[in-house]
Amino acid sequence: SRLNYAQFASASSASNLLEFCFLSGLLTRCQHFQEMSDAIDTNLYSRQIGTYGMETMGKLIQMKVLISGLRGLGVEIAKNLILAGPAKVLLHDDADIEIRDLGANFYLTEEDLKMKRTRAEACQGQLAELNPYVAVEVHKGPITDELIRNLSLIVLTESSQSEMMRLNKLCRSGNVGFIASTCFGLAASVFVDFGDAFTCRDKDGEEPRSAIVSGITLENPGTVHTHQDRRHGFQDGDFVVFREVMGMTELNDGKPRQIKVTGPFSFTIEDTSSYTAYISDGIVTQTKVAHNISFSSYEDSLVQPKPSGEEMHVPDMAKFGRSEQLHFAVQAVLAYRDKHGNLPAFRDVTAAEECVQLAKDINEQRRKVGDSAMFVEEVEADVVKNVAMFARAMICPMAAFLGGVIAQEVVKFTGKFTPLHQFLYFDMFELCPASEPADWKPTGSRYDDQIAIFGASFQQELANMKLFLVGAGALGCEYLKSMALMGVGCGGGKVTVTDMDRIEISNLNRQFLFRQSDVGHSKSQAASRAAKAMNKDLSIESMEVRVGPDTEDVFDDTFWDSLHCMVNALDNIQARLYVDSRCVWFGKPLLESGTLGTKANVQVVLPKLTQSYGDSQDPPEESIPLCTVKHFPNAIEHTIEWSREAFEQMFVESPREGNSFLSDPTAYLQKLPSTGSGTAQLQRLKSIKHMMEKRSGPFQSCVEYAVLEFQEKFHDSIAQLLYTFPLDHVTSEGTKFWSGPKRPPSPIKFDASDSLHMDFVVAAANLYAATLGMPQNRDQGQLAKLAAGVQVQEFKPKEMKIKVDDKDTTGEGCMDDDEVVRRMTSEMSEQVKALKSKADLQPAEFEKDDDTNFHIQFIAAAANLRARNYKIPEADFHKVKMTAGKIIPAIATTTAMVTGLVSAELLKVVRLESRKVEDFKNAFVTLALPLWVLSEPLPPLKTLSKEHDPIVMGPVKARPEGFTSWDKVECNLGDATLQEFLDFLTEEMSIEVMIMSSGNACLYNAYVPAHKKRLKEKITSIWETITKQQLSPKKTYLTLEVSASDLDDGVDVVIPTVKFQFR
């Protein structure tokens, strides 16, 4: 993204005018992106930028969108979209508020009902508070052609069939995006029309993958082989570009080539038989190729909802053919409304039967049209009735799910991600009671829509629920909203929420319960207040306590036993596993979910019915080999990792080393020889000495430090590497050393006129000044003059040992450094009094979300300088920030969508004893594609006997056969001795215990003679002795694991965890 003067001058002198124009265009685009960045609040949108990128954000902030219909679905769409940040959102709903609207629209109040406000008017104020960069206005009256012409896109959620047809035609004539949705209780539809020739720039939003070329054949088609260090990860139909190919230079033209994958390390391209023979090297990278998508009108899509060559979406794996049935059911209900002026009344059997007949009539009309229309063999009456009888209902789970989906489709109008093409049908019919509840009739409350489906007694059970929510971030905020709307814990029960975090600016983009005034305050408390404001009857307790082994006195047995259900809203695996283990132990349902950009998953954990979260493990994240980071990077991720480590070493570890020296110089210097190589010791001593000598300033000393660090990191160390391994160096096998993943670097000389060089110096100098306790200096011009005057010593090569890969056992370093260390240690021992200072050095605390603290600026500059060393394409600031800060991409749309799915599962948990496991749904979703995969939860893993176990190298018996993680052995002996416990297991399980442990503490080992004396001791006493802890008065049992063998034949036996109840 940068061109310095020398590069530009070189390019300008090129004979090819096209090249000059390209470079000029690049400069213009760089300037454009900088201007765009200045216009976008990158602190607020940082997680969203990680998902969408700056180009999409630049388009999104110019969009103007109308949302018509502000019941639960409309307000969900508006909320998610406003958080995303378009220029303007127009709200359109002239209907007066009804009391039942409060069950799904979280911004409506009883006061609004009394004041007889329209839905749009009542929502406008709070929606506007979500994002100060979005103009939120109310449009009254009809939607006209003139209004549409000034918009980017319209969304309809409450419109009639005829109105949808009319407005779709207007949108198509004006190149305005069109989305229409129906939300009929437990069934819904979404329709998208982006015109005849919509351009999708990026189908999936995935980061382009790169691979190192190791060979290319001369044939038709040519086969490309990639280096065996890593699978290429490409897919059939991907487009790739080549660069730096030696020999077959025809491929270096930058032209996208479509590939066909033939293996994890190979793929084919075009005919290469006439090309120059491949010699060596080359990088191949996925590239995004824009493609056009043609949409049909709403009217035409009613006749044929399947685009040519495509099938309808099947979100639920158990419901093949359901989308086709819902297509006719929804049309029938819309036809009923056009005919009668209203949707069918709740549980109106006569109206439902009429809708069934309308569906049959529509299907027959389509059948007569022939192959150009879609029809079904037979309309399923039950499907139509389920849609018709609850068509007036708007429940929170469905509104939240659809609100996330539709808001994401609005964002796709920017060209990012694959839009829905064109219909999505979705139902939650599993929620339907097996029989009609006797108490379904409206009570005049906010819950009337839920009561119409589930009944008043079910609603009371919801109100009585005691639920524990762990996490009050993005997911947590959405869950609290859902609980307040559904009435969970709103009449005898309680919701407990805990989160230790404080609110930050970047949270406001997706954690919608928080406002600017909440920044710095407790998440759990602020979220609880906001949820309580949505429903005054919500009983909620907010806590700021971590859930883990160290807080079991707070979240004790009594607490866990009191719960009906657990909901996780966590962002780390360790905490998830702990909460899951507690749910397994206490036999409680757990609703688990997570998001990553546009991806999301839901896992339902039910006692004895399903797998627990801990029963399966995600594959480990790809790690970068140490030698790759240190000496041989070939991707920008490698240089970012190196720069992040450089930040830690220079501004965190070095000041800590300095403070350690200051606290006891003599002890520090005595210990030094035992810490690392001589080269590493020398670096520590030089760093400490420089910090001690330069603490009093002036700032010029900080600039000098930064320039010398530049010289060492980007010139001298690279020159040394090339001295050790010259460009023509060959391995012991006779192959070129600098080939494949090992890219030959080139040193960089410091140039104060190069902006990237100065980015590094400014950041490093100011970070160093902060470490020394000196005032900072942000005057770029002054710092450039100071930097230009720093004298740099000429590089002198050393005889160094360098590891060539992580398997190399060579001890790195220079032998001469050992003598220098001894000399410096002696000198510093004599100068201790002069060097020592009263004030401690100030190590940096890495903070990724403050763009003014120089942390990310330093890492970005260092990463891109190292990328220049190795001729790796550089990264923009936001890419570095996301990678170095390990920021998880997050957007409000995905969060809302997955919350809707989990909320539906929560309604099923209310009467778990009457449910079948197939009623519940795990989910994997990628909104970018878009793709929904709902499936029945897997049964729990069973422990079975084996003839041969690879770990014990012999047979193993499971006792009882087929036990799962939900099972445990109950031992109610009281405060028994170890011998009494062992006798109990011998009698109950027919086993001889060899080893017994509790957590990480081994309480008994039969193979250790000294442990025999423990047999007469109480197990509680042994536990306290081994762990050196006192058992809490609240603790009534110990969790014990045993390794045992069969009494009869001595075969190893595995049994469930033992619950030793000593009180």
Catalytic residues: 627
DSSP letter string over 152-170? SEEEESS--HHHHHHHHHH
Tokens of 782: 């002054």
| CB atoms closer than 10 angstroms to residue 150 | 12
In three-state secondary structure terms, 975 is: coil
398: enclosing H helix or E strand: helix 396-411
- Angle ∠(903,394,361) on CA atoms, nearest 5: 120
The DSSP output letter for 306 is S
- Helix 636-648 to helix 877-884 angle (10° resolution) is 60
Hey, CA dihedral for 693, 699, 700, 704, is it positive or negative? positive
Tokens of 952: 């014990």
Structural contact between residues 240 and 207, judged by C-beta atoms closer than 8 angstroms: no
Report the C-alpha gap between 932 and 653 in whole angstroms: 46
In three-state secondary structure terms, 510 is: coil
Tokens of 846: 């890495």
Strands 64-68 and 88-92: parallel
Structural contact between residues 266 and 223, judged by C-beta atoms closer than 8 angstroms: yes
Report the C-alpha gap between 248 and 304 in whole angstroms: 49
Can you give the length of the chain in residues? Answer: 1063
Half-sphere exposure of residue 195, counting CA atoms within 13 Å on the CB side? 18
Structural contact between residues 330 and 184, judged by C-beta atoms closer than 8 angstroms: yes
The DSSP output letter for 937 is P
Report the C-alpha gap between 573 and 406 in whole angstroms: 30
Report the C-alpha gap between 655 and 691 in whole angstroms: 8
Structural contact between residues 892 and 512, judged by C-beta atoms closer than 8 angstroms: yes
Report the C-alpha gap between 635 and 528 in whole angstroms: 44
Residue 978: which of 1042, 1046, 1030 has the closest Cα? 1042
Residue 40: which of 80, 87, 79 has the closest Cα? 87
> To which residue do tokens 């000196």 refer?
774
Structural contact between residues 654 and 617, judged by C-beta atoms closer than 8 angstroms: no
Residue 52: which of 403, 413, 294 has the closest Cα? 413
- Helix 978-989 to helix 1019-1027 angle (10° resolution) is 120
